[in-house]
Amino acid sequence: MKISRRTLLQITGVGTAIVAFLPRMAFASPNSLRTVRTGVQPGNKTRLVIETSQRPSYSLSYPTNQIIITLSNTSANANLVPALASGTIVRSITQAQVGDKLQIIANLSKPVSGIPKDQIMVLSPNGDNDYRLVLDFVAGQSAPAVAETNKQTQKTAPAKKYIVVIDAGHGGKDPGCIGKNGTKEKNVVLSVAKKLKTKLDAAGFQTYLTRSNDTYLKLAQRASIGEKKHADLFLSLHANANPSRAMKGFSIYTLSEKASDEEAQKLADSENAADKIEVDGFEQFSKDIRIALSALQQHAVAEMSVEYANGCAKQFKTMKITQQPGPDVRHAPFAVLRSTVPGALLELGHLSNAEEEKLLNSSAHQDKLVNAIVKSVKSYNFDV
Ligand SMILES: [Zn+2]
């Protein structure tokens, strides 16, 4: 699944001009309900998605243990069977036609007092999807009064900026791996991280760096920055070293308790070794995260991470950046990826290979890497 450029522009709030040129729908033709589905999101959130043929005009109300979404000028769909995921607080969904308005009633196992504005999105059609009203909520939260309605005349989607945390690996007393000509991993990845931040900011994302200078951070601190910033995506940037100086190429990894292969395990061991310099803190953080995440949520985070990583590997191929031989995406127990935020660890190339050491130092090649990553983030399906 891909997020279209137009959807992305609208989400980031800069696509208003484009939308204005789209042919207007006749107001008389009723909107129709296509699908209703729920899913589990990181952070114990329930996601409710209502798909309609036209941009929905809606209002929300919150009777006890219910959310009622009232869609203007919309007809009920008698054949619709809501797709309800397990592990959410939505127990059932029914429809009620009230004049030309359609009420979608979500019956909840726990009360929700409101949904904050930044947790409500209207997405334009992309791929197989029509217009989607997306609501993310947790039990008990309250909504600011402004969140209640949107008018059909209002053409911009709520400006939800996706948050990306960029982690430049190593730093300070931990240089990471060192090339034959003395290039330090910590410096290369910081340079790429800063360029990546600039480009992602320009593309409408909200980004944060775990470090913006040559400082040492523990792996748990890095992961917890992703948590604190409520990141939608966490990218940890590294460069590789291999006993064989001939080995070269980019590789990408997601978190799993069991490594996909021996090489991935070795890499995780060496990247995790950064914390051996100061080991305290991680065990507790890791335990807290494990307790906070249900198995289902862990599964959702892992799935989203793999989806991103696959798309990223594809972009690197498209841009003809040398890939390390082997599978497109590998998995290993990287400590820095242990959080509720979907993410990946990118090994941008091998500093142990003389040719790649030179490339990784060149500004032009760094730009090429950054462009590939920006494309991968843009094409990642942040929504449903
Ligand atoms: Zn590293």
pLDDT band at 275 (very low <50, low <70, confident <90, very high): low
**Overall average pLDDT of the 215-219 stretch:** 93
- Secondary structure element (H or E) that encloses residue 220, with its range: helix 219-228
Residues 11 and 206: beta-carbon distance below 8 Å: no
Residues 78 and 108: beta-carbon distance below 8 Å: no
The mean of the pLDDT values for the chain is 83
Ligand 1 centroid–CA 381 distance in Å is 27
Contacts of 68 (CB under 8 A, 6+ apart): 60, 61, 62, 103, 104, 105, 106
Phi-psi region of 110 (alpha: psi -120 to 50; beta: other; left: phi over 0): beta
Which residues share a beta bridge with 366? none
Residue 68 clears pLDDT 50, i.e. is over it: yes
**Overall average pLDDT of the 326-337 stretch:** 91
Residue 240 clears pLDDT 80, i.e. is over it: yes
Helix or strand or coil: residue 25? coil
- Ion ligand 1 — residues with CB < 5 Å: 169, 176, 238, 271
CATH code linked to domain 5-147: 2.60.40.3500
pLDDT by residue (tens digit) across 169-212? 999 999 999 998 999 999 999 999 999 999 999 999 999 999 99
pLDDT number for residue 292: 56
Flag whether the pTM goes above 0.85.
no
Residue 268 clears pLDDT 50, i.e. is over it: yes
CATH code linked to domain 163-379: 3.40.630.40
- φ/ψ of 94, rounded to 5, equals -125, 165
**Overall average pLDDT of the 337-359 stretch:** 94
Phi-psi region of 56 (alpha: psi -120 to 50; beta: other; left: phi over 0): beta
Residue 5 clears pLDDT 50, i.e. is over it: no
Ligand 1 centroid–CA 300 distance in Å is 26
**Among candidate residues 237, 268, 246, 260, the one with its CA nearest the CA of residue 343:** 237
Question: Where are the domains positioned within the chain?
Answer: 5-147, 163-379
**Overall average pLDDT of the 332-348 stretch:** 91
pLDDT number for residue 236: 97
**Overall average pLDDT of the 53-72 stretch:** 91
Ligand 1 centroid–CA 214 distance in Å is 14
**Overall average pLDDT of the 22-48 stretch:** 74
**HSE, side-chain direction, 13 A CA sphere, residue 109:** 8
pLDDT number for residue 142: 65
Ligand 1 centroid–CA 236 distance in Å is 9
Ligand 1 centroid–CA 359 distance in Å is 17
**Overall average pLDDT of the 228-252 stretch:** 94
